[in-house]
Amino acid sequence: MKLLRAMREPLKYVQGKGALLRFKDEMGYMGSRWLFVCSKSGYKACHDQIEESFADSDDVRQWEIFGGVSSKGEIARMRELVEEHEIDTVVAAGGGSAIDTAKATAHYTGTHIVAIPTVAATDAPCTGLSVIYNDDGSFDKYLFYPTNPDAVMVDSQVIANAPVRFLIAGMGDALGTYFEGRSSLRTESPSLEGTGITRAGMALAKLCYETLRDYGSQAIVACENNVVTPALDAIVEANVYLSGVGADNVNCAAAHSFYNGLTALGGHSAPHGCCVAFGTLVQLVLEGAPQDEFDDVQDFCLEVGLPVTLEQLGISSDDQVHTIARNACVPGETIHNLAGDVTPDELYASIVAADSMGKKALGD
Ligand SMILES: [Zn+2]
C-alpha cells in the first residue's frame, strides 16, 4: 500500500532572548503541577528564570537532577515522581539525554511534555522519538511516540552562554538534513516517522541549509561573545527547529549512516554533529554531486570549523575506514535510502575521495 504523506512537529515552538522569564505565561495552560527533569548544567541555566516566571503562583514545582543518561532506570525513577506528585506536565531542561528521559516519562504517564534545550547541539527537542539506553549505558532502542512534544522553548541567551562547540556540532547535524532528505525523497523512502515525505518537510530542510550558509559564521562570533544577535537566533532556529522537524519529516541517509558506522570503531570522541558534517561530504561524493555543490558544503565546513578530513575526526588507518564503510551499509541503515544499492566498497571509495578533497582544501 502506498505510504500516506504526513507532517509532524511540536504543537508550540517559542524562541528568543529571555524566553524562560515567560515560561508560566506561555506554558501555563498545561496545568499547575510541574516536574522539571534537568541535567546539572540545565538546572543552573534555567532554574532562576523559570521560577521567576511563576511569580507568586502556588503551582507545584518539583525540580529533579537526572542521572545523565536516558536509561530505563532513570525513566522509572521519573515515572514514580510523576505519580507521587500528581504531575500535569514534565519539563526537560538540558541536552539530548535530559530531553529524551523527560519525553519517555511523559509518554508512559500520559502527561504533557515541554522541552527546553540548553545547548543547540541535537535534534532531540522537536522530534517524536527518544534514544533509550540500558542501565549499563549500552544502546537499547529508539522509542517512537504517536505525537511530537507539546511545546519546545529555547532561550537564545542560554544558548549564547553555552560553549560554542555545541553550536558548531548542532550546525553539523543540521547540515545533513537537506541533503539526506533530498536523497530520501528521490527514492520515495519513508520519513523518519515512517510516513511519506511532504513538500512542507522538504521546504524546512532546504531552509535549514540556506540559514546555515547565511548566518553560520556570524552566529559563532555572537556565541563566542555570549551575546544574542539576529544571526545567532537564526542558527538556533536552524539547529533546533528546522533541523529537528526537518529530519523527522524527511529522513536520514548516508551522512547519518557514516556516523553510525563510525560508532562501531568504539572509543571515538568526535561529536555526533561533526561526524554527520563529514558524512554529508561523503554522501555528496557518493551521489556524484557536481563540484559546485560539493565546494559549497565544504566551504561552509571550513568557515565554521566543522571537519573536512578523517584526521580531524581522529580516524587514521585504512582499516578503520573499511570498518566504517562495512558497518554503515548493514541492512536497515538509512544509507539505503539512496538510489541504487550502496555497497561498502562504493562507500569506502567516497570516504577516501572526500577526505582527499578535504586535505587539498586545507593545503596538506
Ligand atoms: Zn543527527
Instruction: Look up the CATH number of the domain holding residue 137.
Output: 3.40.50.1970
Give the mean pLDDT of 172-193. 93
Residues 205, 330, single domain; the answer is yes
Last residue of a domain, one of 108, 138, 161: 161
Establish whether 187 is an annotated binding residue. no
| Residue 118 covered by a domain | yes
pLDDT (0 to 100) of residue 136: 81
- Does residue 140 sit within a domain? yes
Residues 148 and 174 in one domain: no
pTM score of the predicted model: 0.94
pLDDT for 134 equals: 84
In 3D space, the residue among 304, 293, 308 whose CA is nearest the CA of residue 235 turns out to be 304
Confidence of residue 347 (pLDDT cuts 50, 70, 90): very high
Residue that terminates a domain, selected from 99, 127, 161: 161
Q: Compare 108 and 138 and report the one with higher pLDDT.
A: 108
Lowest mean pLDDT, pick from 59-73, 132-146, 164-178: 132-146
Residue 341 confidence (pLDDT): 86
Q: Which residue has the higher pLDDT, 263 or 125?
A: 125
Percentage, residues of the chain above pLDDT 90: 85
Residue 143 annotated as binding site: no
180 CA distance to ligand 1 middle (Å):
11
pLDDT at residue 11 in the model? 97
> Which domain does 186 fall in, by range?
164-362
Phi, psi of 336 (to 5 degrees): -75, 0
- Whether 7 maps to a domain, the answer reads no
Residue 141 burial by CB count (10 A; 0-12/13-18/19+): exposed, middle or buried? Answer: exposed
Tell whether 291 is covered by a domain. yes
155 & 168 share domain = no
Backbone Cα Rg of the chain: 20
315 is in an annotated binding site: no
Q: Within this chain, do residues 203 and 345 fall inside the same structural domain, yes or no?
A: yes
Domain boundary among 142, 161, 180: 161
Q: Give the DSSP H/E element, type plus range, for residue 92.
A: strand 89-94
206 and 325 together in one domain: yes
* Residue 138 marked in a binding site: no
DSSP character string of 323-360: HHHHHHTSTT-GGGGSSS---HHHHHHHHHHHHHHHHH
Tell me whether residue 1 is in a domain.
no
Same domain, 65 and 145: yes
